[in-house]
Amino acid sequence: MFAYPSGDIHMGHFRNYSIGDVIARFKRMEGYQVLHPFGWDAFGLPAEEAAIKHKTHPRIWTLNNIAISKNTLKKLGISYDWDREIATCLPDYYKWTQWVFLKLFEKGLAYQDFALVNWCPSCKTVLANEQIEEGKCWRCKSHVSKKELKQWFFKITDYAEKLLADLENLSGWPENVKAMQRYWIGKSIGVEIKFKLEEIQEELLVFTTRADTIYGVTFIAVSPEHPLAKKLALGAHCEREVLNYIEKARLKSEIERASTITKKDGVFTGKYAINPLSGEKVKIFTADYVLASYGTGIVMGVPAHDQRDFEFAKTYDIPIKIVINPKDKKLDLSSLKEAYLEEGILVNSNNFSNLNSKEAIKAITDYIIKNNLGRSKKRLAYFPPALLGRSHSHNSL
């Protein structure tokens, strides 16, 4: 684990590096040839901020800290091969970062696009989700907001099928880890459905993998970052409440918002949508458990068959409508304690009742496409790099 050269080595470093040294020495005693290198994670914002604070040049500040920390590690007697030392801020290292980037760019795998990111106005930088603590920057404690920025992306979606295939061939990996990887790759095959607004000439495009639940929709939820969230509230009696909620939601990290244990909340926008198959009128909410980075940023709320929708509906007294029963029994709404998530037999679904879920998904999707109510769609995860891990201002590119 490369160290930040933000000062001298501290006790946390001692603990980690001592453990690594024990393993390296033990393996040498067993007769192995051991490669035990070390390096410095020396690029980016931490060095820049510290240099500004100490009124010195970032290069001087960083290289001086490297020298001090290296001297301390040598006093500890840790068996690093210092001939293999690297520092990410030096050209002999970052030239390879640039080389890899150029190769990706030449192959069309590096591209620019706009996306919402976590933004610290004080540090003037993008933050990863884990760098936000209670809506504030972990470094300067300023309130974090969402900002749309043009940035670089790597087109990992081109490799989604191969990644999924390789994942299934892994042996000995815990199933929960493999499940996390499937979620991160994020392949979803479903349908985009058009929900018309009752009062204005606008359509809400909703992506779902469970077209069989369409007759169970009792509300629509829009991501706070979606441009329509503000537009829907304009002129409504709840406009100020919606705008305040949008600002509050933007202070939360996507990890917090997507959590299955976080209480789901939202606010009614004052507008209604029409279910294109049932013709029923449903309320439109903006809700922070809906992420702009997945699907279209708008979801159809099916409380009886989605747990987050179920919790949201219970909180806001939204109707719950059962449209899928298990094959061997009939669900009772009065005793329903949680959403029924599995496939089953359709009920309360007009001409599609009595079909099983697989048959219904195909039949309803075909009906939607034939009647120009939507289109079939394959989606892959869309995660801006800053949302996936530790963020630095790496300007070497």
Each residue's pLDDT tens digit, 5-32: 888 989 989 999 999 999 999 999 999 9
CB crowding 155-174: b at 16 or more within 10 Å, else e:
eebeeeeeeeeeeeeeeeee
Cβ-contact 282, 218 below 8 angstroms = yes
Would you say residue 236 has pLDDT above 90? no
Taking the C-alpha atoms of residue 158 and residue 165, their distance in angstroms, rounded to an integer, is: 13
Percent of the chain with pLDDT over 90: 54
Whether the per-residue pLDDT at 307 is higher than 80: the answer is: yes
Q: What does the alpha-carbon distance between residue 181 and residue 83 come to, in Å, rounded to a whole number? A: 36
pLDDT band at 391 (very low <50, low <70, confident <90, very high): very low
Nearest-angstrom CA–CA distance, 216 and 275:
10
- Is pLDDT of 389 > 80? no
> In sequence order, what are the beta bridge partners of 192?
207, 375
Strands 281-287 vs 203-208: parallel, antiparallel or unpaired: unpaired
Asked: is 188-379 a CATH 1.10.150.170 domain? The reply is: no
Least confident of 180-184, 188-192, 362-366: 180-184
Q: What beta strand segments (E) does the chain contain?
A: 39-40, 86-87, 110-120, 125-127, 132-133, 136-137, 145-154, 188-197, 203-208, 219-222, 266-274, 281-287, 298-301, 324-325, 345-346, 374-379
**Amino acid code (one letter) for 311:** E
Confidence of residue 396 (pLDDT cuts 50, 70, 90): very low
Q: What is the pLDDT of residue 380?
A: 62
Q: Are strands 39-40 and 86-87 parallel, antiparallel or unpaired?
A: parallel
The tens digit of pLDDT for each residue in 73-106 reads 999 999 999 999 999 999 999 999 999 999 999 9
Please indicate whether residue 355 or residue 140 has the higher confidence score (pLDDT).
355
Mean pLDDT of 37-60: 86
Residue 301: the pLDDT is 96
pLDDT at 384 over 60: no
Q: How many CB atoms lie within 10 A of CB 134?
A: 12
Rounded to whole angstroms, how far apart are CA atoms 395 and 329? 60
pLDDT digits (tens, 9 = 90+) for 191-200: 999 999 987 7
Q: Above 70 in pLDDT, residue 394?
A: no
Has residue 45 got a pLDDT over 90?
Answer: no
Q: Sign of the CA dihedral 62, 66, 72, 73? A: positive
Is the pLDDT at 388 greater than 70, yes or no? no
Question: pLDDT at position 256, please?
Answer: 67
- In the predicted structure, residue 131 carries a pLDDT above the cut 60: yes
Q: Is the pLDDT of residue 164 over 70?
A: yes
Amino acid 86: pLDDT: 95
The mean predicted confidence, pLDDT, of the chain is: 87
- Cβ 36 vs Cβ 80: under 8 Å: yes
DSSP-derived secondary structure for 327-339: TT----GGG--S-
Three-state DSSP class for residue 99: helix
DSSP label of 367: H
280-308 burial: b if 16+ Cβ within 10 Å, else e: eebbbbbbbbbbbbbbbbbbbbbbbbbeb
Question: Which tops the pLDDT comparison, 301 or 44?
Answer: 301
pLDDT digits (tens, 9 = 90+) for 328-340: 899 999 989 999 9
Q: What does the domain layout of the chain look like in residue ranges?
A: 11-90, 108-154, 156-186, 188-379
Encoding tokens for residue 106? 């030449």
pLDDT single digits (tens) 253-305: 666 676 666 778 899 999 999 999 999 999 999 998 898 777 788 999 999 99
Residue showing tokens 């929900």: 195
Choose the weakest-confidence range: 173-187, 202-216, 270-284, 349-363: 173-187
- HEC string of 235-289? CCCCHHHHHHHHHHHCCCCHHHHHCCCCCCCEEEEEEEEECCCCCCEEEEEEECC
| Cα–Cα distance, 28 to 73 (Å, whole number) | 20
Of residues 377 and 72, more confidently modeled: 72
For residues 6 and 8, what is the distance between their CA atoms, to the nearest angstrom? 7
Residue 386 has pLDDT above 50, yes or no: no
d(CA 128, CA 161): 27
Query: Pairing relation of β-strands 132-133 and 136-137?
Result: antiparallel
What is the per-residue pLDDT for 70? 95
Residue 97 backbone dihedrals phi, psi, to 5 degrees: -60, -45
Q: Which residues are within 8 A (CB) of 62 and not within 5 positions of it... i.e. 6 or more apart? A: 5, 40, 42, 47, 51, 87, 89
